[in-house]
Amino acid sequence: MVATALGLEDFTALSEIQCKQRILEAKAALGSRLVILGHHYQRDEVFQHADYAGDSLKLSRQAALSGAEYIVFCGVHFMAEVADILSSKNQRAILPDLGAGCSMADMANLAKVERAWRELNTVLDADKEITPVTYINSAADLKAFCGRHQGIVCTSTNAKHVLEWSFQRREKVLFFPDQHLGRNTGYGMDIPLDQMVVWDFDKPMGGLSKQAIRDAKIILWKGFCSVHQIFKPEDIDRFLEKHPETKVISHPEASFEVCQKSDYVGSTEYIIQTIKEAEKNTRWLVGTELNLVNRLNDQFKSEGKSVHFMSPTICMCSTMFRIDQPHLLWCLENLLEGNVVNQIKVDVDEAKFARLALDSMLGLSI
């Protein structure tokens, strides 16, 4: 018989030191039955407990390979969904705080995407002319939508290869939910800006004329990451006036204008590796989430490297920030009591089609 779940209120009053000690004890007691995943954007007090750190797809694949019974994902909702889809039936994905979502992912829900597909079908034969591509930062039902329509998933690392795969199959791409990743990737493939149109999901026909849809190579969903949206070209200009020797590196979720002013553009893993391999005593201006930037500055300070957050406005990923030590401890001690709390379980049919789109991506030779 399953015990009554421990209440979260019993944990929120604990000090940071108490939480840390009890998390370590719970981890030791659960042993190989548990794996904790920590996304790069997590706050440090949570990140320190991760068995694996990385981006969402890398972490989900490592968790599946670990064979651990419990996958506790310190990230956001769509990440735990991917972990559930890629893991085996005897593994369970858990999100410490169900409020940890993603504002970008929420900008493209299934109802809006299906409506867009119907509207596109009034101009084109969508299933013959358009490959739907969803960024991994999206809900499982959108990944399933892509699977049902012979589409694919992409990450910020492999977006170029995914678009190449897509154009080999159909002449156009519907790219969601992040317009910036789609635009920056398409431009890097020599697709002109005027052949990448923005679909405004709040307007009939996306606010586009039939001719604009026919002429488009990539139809970009009007979505964005609230963190990467804050970076501005003038932030770069102001910093370079004071420190002209600075190298600028940005995530492709940043705007086109910011990425064009950057010396390097790439995923979180790319940013980390680039700064790690850089010469000593170099200065970096980084356009991505603050927790990661601060961690890089601390990590490479001994090499004389200075790593700076691009915006003068402090903006963390507010949904990622919801994961804290009390929530993590609450999950772990419930597992010790035989209770699985906050399990993320994707519907079987949905998971099947989402897996098709993910497998199309994972099958690419990159």
Please, which pLDDT band fits residue 365 given cuts at 50, 70 and 90?
A: low
Residue 318's pLDDT is 64
CA atoms within 13 A on the CB side of 245: 7
User: Comparing 8-101+320-346 with 228-309, is the CATH topology the same?
Assistant: yes
- Residue 218 contacts residue 178 (beta carbons within 8 Å): no
CA atoms within 13 A on the CB side of 203: 10
Measure CA 366 to chain center.
Answer: 19
Bridge partner list, 214:
none
CA distance linking residue 112 with residue 174, whole number of Å: 13
Listed by start position, the domains of the chain span 8-101+320-346, 105-226, 228-309
Please, which pLDDT band fits residue 54 given cuts at 50, 70 and 90?
A: confident
pLDDT at 245 over 80: yes
Look at the domain 8-101+320-346 and name its fold. Rossmann fold (3.40.50)
Least confident of 227-231, 273-277, 302-306: 227-231
Residue 1's pLDDT is 36
Which ranges of the chain does DSSP label H, i.e. alpha helix?
16-30, 44-47, 56-66, 77-86, 103-106, 110-120, 126-129, 140-148, 159-169, 179-188, 210-215, 233-242, 256-261, 268-277, 290-300, 325-336, 348-362
Mean pLDDT of 133-156: 97
pLDDT at 148 over 90: yes
pLDDT at 64 over 90: no
pLDDT at 174 over 90: yes
pLDDT at 57 over 90: no
Per the CATH hierarchy, to which homologous superfamily does domain 228-309 belong? Answer: NadA-like (3.40.50.10800)
Taking the model in full, what pTM does it have? 0.92
Asked: is 105-226 a CATH 3.30.310 domain? The reply is no
- Residue 198 contacts residue 183 (beta carbons within 8 Å): no
CA distance linking residue 221 with residue 203, whole number of Å: 12
Structure confidence by residue, pLDDT tens digits, 126-137: 999 999 999 999
Q: How are the residues of the chain apportioned to helix, strand and coil, as percentages rounded to the nearest 5?
A: 50, 15, 35
